[in-house]
Amino acid sequence: MITSNKKQEILPGFATAVIKNNKVANEFYTGFSNLKAKKPINRNTNFRLASLSKQFTAMAIMILEKRRRLSYDAPLSRFFPDFPDYGRNITVRQLLTHSSGMPDHEQILYKTIKTNNLPTIYDALTVFRQSQPLFKPGSRYQYSDAGYVMLALIIEKVSGLSYRDFLTKYILKPLNMTNSDVLDDTKPEINNQAYGYRTLKNGFKLFDYDPLNYIVGDEGVYSSIVDMIKWSRAWEKPLLVSNESLDQALTPQRLLNGKIGGAGFSWLIDSYRKEKIIYQDGSWVGFRNIILKIPNENVTAIILSNRTDLETTKQRIATAWPKNY
């Protein structure tokens, strides 16, 4: 079922899909992707995915592992020999599972920004080389944007391609995700682009710019609801990597102390009302998004939005969406 509102106020909105038993049970979109141009959201509208981009970074690493270009247990120093000593103790697996202790880069970069020279992942690398880990690598789970920026750097180092070019060649084209793209420092034009908006008491204000917009790995991918349906299937069938790799990615990884962490490869793994849920949510500038799977129900819910007031928490989605289909 595909539905949308024909007569609408000029407001930002969202696109959603619910997939049940490998079939699209519902697809819905409402609102506008560009308030000034009065352009309605449709199934091809490209939203900034924010942290949902981490899934693409994880899949790129999995593809490189499949091609035997790297090992999940390889240390960071293997790819960057001049990295500080702590790079010998951080593995690719720890970066994937938010257990690396990579130091934050964002606050330092915000202080050093020059208007005509906005930061890239290589500026983040400079910060990493001058810092120390937040904790002993592998000792605990702590959600990390920095870890995924580091993974993007590894992808570029190992493949010889830019992060954007690697995703295009090995993920977007094979899955026929023709709407999707990556906004990096080459500043490509994003087709069917949605703009983000901040919710105010008396309306909405454009909120699409941040000086760190061209740092990729932890975010930066744009995609549409129709492409995200294709993307969801790539985590359920061996379209890009083996079933064994997918199982590993969707299983919470063990920490050095023997306890189970909170993530697989990018996917966060939890339970809600005694149901196992696997999800990734994300927010950046005016975008709020989530993709959530309930394995026992064989259900996936996806929401992409360009407004800051849309609630996309795991509790909200697990309660309100999948059980209705």
Q: Of 269, 304, 275, whose CA–CA distance to 44 is shortest?
A: 304
Structural domain range at position 117:
2-324
Q: pLDDT tens digits for 147-206?
A: 999 999 999 999 999 999 999 999 999 999 999 999 999 999 999 999 999 999 889 999
The pLDDT tens digits for 283-304 are: 999 999 999 999 999 999 999 9
Distance CA(16)–CA(148), nearest Å, equals: 26
Is 320 buried (19+), middle (13-18) or exposed (0-12) by CB count in 10 A?
exposed
pTM: 0.95
Domains contained in the chain, number = 1
Tell me the one-letter amino acid at 107.
Q
| Residues 218, 118: Cα–Cα separation, whole Å | 17
What's the CATH code of the domain at 87? 3.40.710.10
Spatial separation of the C-alpha atoms in residues 162 and 153, rounded to whole Å: 9
Q: E strand or H helix at 291, and its extent?
A: strand 287-294
8 A C-beta contact, residue 62 and residue 265: yes
> What is residue 117's DSSP assignment?
B
Structure confidence by residue, pLDDT tens digits, 241-284? 999 999 999 999 999 999 999 999 999 999 888 889 999 999 99
Give the torsion sign (CA, 36, 39, 40, 45). negative
